[in-house]
Structure 1
């Protein structure tokens, strides 16, 4: 049987002819003619892309009329606007008036502590009415202080804070381990009974933490904003089960909850945030544009703030809308968000060498925008209503070809972006230094702990701003670690009740009755026995005299004043009983 080979061939058929009516040679001539025309058109497009005076029309949708408008890109000089910042920061408070704990309360809010106290007690009663939590606000403060203190240490498990060998005195003296775990198990900020059904259109996925998010967000919004701002994402590390969990492979923590942050470009202070719960309908301007506009709700209008964002957010519509609010924008942009824009391609720029650049200018709704393409190791596309290519400076780069550092031309828009885009990254780095070191399987607990860390870092950054305004020497400014420990100690020292007042005169019948019915103070916790290796190592075990107490040797009920200097246990050492030797052998 002869071998037959079948192949799929795509044939261009002229209008009015069927495939059967065509001759093969004629069809091949037709294909060749079509290919020749397409090649000529591609050559024309390449010539236009390298031309310096090309005008390109782009169709942009006008949101008011829902019609497409023509956008003309031109190769001309960008007119840099006069964008001097006209706002001023308020004067700082007097240095002696505000302590670190006051800064922390101004960020997290004392009402947050009251909220956690009330809702945690309510939740424990709902779960088991016979075992209520009965936590007070002072005890909740000590609980938060322990959480902040755990970020200073790097123990793998939380029980190590209470173990004899690794115990932290400031934590163990404030609260027992079981009480800490009980509060953590019942911590809540909202009443679960009021949660809507998942099928309800008003259902909120972040219902478990929404009240706390709103309190912290409103406190952040009250902070006076600096001139240059940056918008970016932040990841709350979490690998458990949650429908709100996101995956961002380019972040230091790839799995977790996503928050959109508006922060100061230079200071890193968080001015606003938006917790992302997933896709919810279709925003008016698209998700990327709408997120930035929501973050800029409290930014003062028409005083020439500058906003920097990456290519996830930057669109033509975003920069136009921000300009109408008196906010200038600079950011990298994805090429597919500039359809129809023709500039020098990557091949042409690479032939010119590192530092080659090209730009186009357009006007949308009376707003002038500039698109810049710069070639370093790769092509970078930027869009701005404030900066363009000039003035050009030089930046040092490593050349693999020449095996040395070389000077590369850099447009002004790239320089400004690199200088002022790192506000959120700075905030992330500071939070990661001393993050709360307590694990939990409940998905909302991680968000509550993150808000505490975020509030503390924001409090420290605001404290630094006030110190710099008062021109306090750097050596007198507390570091983040010192600031955190100071806040934690202030919370750990929250007493459950004031000391009782001593009444003068003869005691009344009521006071005598209350004294008789009041519970007796619990005994001191005995020292735990040492491990077997330490107990029988036969090294540095010396008998010392201490207060009289019960012998700790198993089976002995005698009283003794002799204790082991290493084991910290009372052991009999007399003519009748020699528990000291028996215990160590």
Structure 2
């Protein structure tokens, strides 16, 4: 080992002496003849390049510069140049700066202003300031424009989720669209004080209407939904949950729902999932009209009050009874729905196992209702006053899922922060409902105009454009 170290030391000394005896020109010639020459080259280090005096070179032209100064680098005499590697590389092309400015209203028929009009914001401004005076002895001083900003920020919060509400204003992870528009304390003050009626002197309907605190919100959204009824022929009805787990006398539990606890809302949509009417359930005094058929059938009768004759309505097994179908037929409305076997009387259904795809039809004596028994993965019985075996299953499956599709889209970007106020939760829910409605109408508008698929905004981009327009 010592002998090897001795040889290595001798070799190192030899190469050092050899390098010292070579001149600069000899070193350059050796490098030019080596395999390292080509597109890449060795050049003198910038630390050894002599900086030319600007004042002395002002009067020199390119033809007057001596040969030794025409080199791209001037090397200081008596100093061995430090060579470094200069490589020819391709400059990286970065993506251009994208303008994320607010997009204009994507469709003339789908804007939130159609659901929450100017009068609504003016009334909300008045009652919000009144409530803050009663609560803190100081007016909040909000305006209709600031409430629109409050709506827009809630829309953006639903799109970009943070673990806690104050983190939207934290410097390291804040969103400029939110933090530059309104301060955290101001936003929380609006959130805690927003009101739509006079709670100091409640109206007379407060004695009988449990929803009186949010009734203006319900009325303004329902009014716009009713204006869309004449544009469709096929409708779907089902239950919807406004999720809320705090203290509330209206709270219900529905087994099997993705959000089983909250305020129950009977809702009717088109086959394309556009909400057309709804009725929030708040107890035995809910204005559903004729309650002789039971709660769920009465909800269907209430939702179909404004439908034109000849409309087709489809609903789930919790609503379907033969007496409900008879009532709808009297009103000139066609209907169909899956029915529970224990609700069928005087009909002998097929006993035993049926083959998959096998169907049997049974007609009532007065020919008012048809019961169709089909075997799929499970046995299903469908009651109808508008179709028999052939178009039954296809029509039912094509038009029944409107409420579920709407709930799915609302759930995607729902404003999910918890609150103790059920009134605020209802407000946020109806904002989400109106935005999803606008998006479905916008898509229908694009299809009618044969807009290219790549040019149609998805729900996220649509929602962000609306929030930026409100800010």
TM bucket (normalised to shorter chain) is 0.7 to 0.9
Quote the residue 2:125 is aligned against.
Answer: 117
CA distance in 2, matches of 1:261, 1:455: 13
Q: Secondary structure at the match of 2:238?
A: strand
Structure 1 residues 152 and 322, CA gap change in structure 2 (3 angstroms): same
CA distance in 1, matches of 2:203, 2:130: 18
- Please list, as runs of the form range in 1=range in 2, the aligned pairs for 1:190-209 lying within 5 A after superposition: 190-195=197-202, 202-209=207-214
Q: Report how many residues are paired.
A: 364
Larger radius of gyration: 2
CA distance in 1, matches of 2:273, 2:361: 31
Cα offset for 1:156?
A: 1.5
CA distance in 2, matches of 1:108, 1:425: 24
Contact preservation (8 Å) 1:103, 1:463: no
Cα offset for 1:474?
A: 1.9
- Please list, as runs of the form range in 1=range in 2, the aligned pairs for 1:174-189 lying within 5 A after superposition: 174-189=181-196
Establish whether residue 288 from structure 1 lines up as the match of residue 267 from structure 2. no
Contact preservation (8 Å) 1:216, 1:455: yes
Quote the residue 2:466 is aligned against.
Answer: 487
Contact preservation (8 Å) 1:225, 1:299: no
Structure 1 residues 97 and 379, CA gap change in structure 2 (3 angstroms): closer
Contact preservation (8 Å) 1:225, 1:271: no
Q: Secondary structure at the match of 1:193?
A: coil
Contact preservation (8 Å) 1:158, 1:437: no
Contact preservation (8 Å) 1:343, 1:359: no
CA distance in 2, matches of 1:358, 1:101: 45
Select 1:169's aligned residue among 173, 176, 181: 176
Q: Secondary structure at the match of 1:271?
A: strand
Quote the residue 1:368 is aligned against.
Answer: 368
Contact preservation (8 Å) 2:107, 2:445: no
Cα offset for 1:203?
A: 1.6
Cα offset for 1:337?
A: 2.0
Cα offset for 1:326?
A: 2.5
- Please list, as runs of the form range in 1=range in 2, the aligned pairs for 1:542-581 lying within 5 A after superposition: none
Quote the residue 1:417 is aligned against.
Answer: 396
Quote the residue 2:233 is aligned against.
Answer: 227
Cα offset for 1:99?
A: 4.8
Extract unaligned runs of 5+ from structure 1.
1-95, 392-411, 493-585
Task: State the superposition RMSD in angstroms.
Answer: 2.2
CA distance in 2, matches of 1:201, 1:336: 40
Q: Secondary structure at the match of 2:293?
A: coil
Quote the residue 2:145 is aligned against.
Answer: 138
Quote the residue 1:278 is aligned against.
Answer: 283
CA distance in 1, matches of 2:410, 2:277: 16
Select 1:238's aligned residue among 234, 239, 244: 244
Structure 1 residues 160 and 357, CA gap change in structure 2 (3 angstroms): same
Extract unaligned runs of 5+ from structure 2.
1-103
CA distance in 2, matches of 1:249, 1:221: 30
Structure 1, residues 232-283: CA drift from partner, whole Å, max 9, x if none?
Answer: 1111111111111111121111111111111011x11000111111223871
Q: Secondary structure at the match of 1:178?
A: helix
Cα offset for 1:138?
A: 0.8
Contact preservation (8 Å) 1:360, 1:371: yes
Select 1:427's aligned residue among 390, 394, 406: 406
Quote the residue 1:388 is aligned against.
Answer: 388
Cα offset for 1:195?
A: 3.4
CA distance in 2, matches of 1:427, 1:111: 28
Quote the residue 2:114 is aligned against.
Answer: 106
When the two structures are superposed, what TM-score results if normalisation uses the length of structure 2?
0.73
Q: Secondary structure at the match of 1:383?
A: strand
CA distance in 2, matches of 1:261, 1:106: 19
Q: Secondary structure at the match of 2:369?
A: strand
Structure 1, residues 296-316: CA drift from partner, whole Å, max 9, x if none?
Answer: 122122xx3211101111112
Contact preservation (8 Å) 2:107, 2:442: no
Structure 1 residues 363 and 227, CA gap change in structure 2 (3 angstroms): farther
Contact preservation (8 Å) 2:232, 2:270: yes
Establish whether residue 355 from structure 1 lines up as the match of residue 353 from structure 2. no
Contact preservation (8 Å) 2:152, 2:467: yes
Q: Secondary structure at the match of 1:190?
A: coil
Contact preservation (8 Å) 1:196, 1:203: no
CA distance in 2, matches of 1:296, 1:150: 35
Select 1:153's aligned residue among 144, 151, 160: 160
Structure 1 residues 441 and 202, CA gap change in structure 2 (3 angstroms): closer
CA distance in 1, matches of 2:449, 2:108: 16
- Please list, as runs of the form range in 1=range in 2, the aligned pairs for 1:528-539 lying within 5 A after superposition: none
Select 1:249's aligned residue among 221, 241, 255: 255
Q: Secondary structure at the match of 1:311?
A: coil
CA distance in 2, matches of 1:295, 1:135: 37
Establish whether residue 264 from structure 1 lines up as the match of residue 243 from structure 2. no
CA distance in 1, matches of 2:115, 2:385: 33
Quote the residue 1:440 is aligned against.
Answer: 419
CA distance in 2, matches of 1:284, 1:194: 36
Q: Secondary structure at the match of 1:413?
A: helix
Structure 1 residues 100 and 253, CA gap change in structure 2 (3 angstroms): farther
Contact preservation (8 Å) 1:189, 1:211: yes
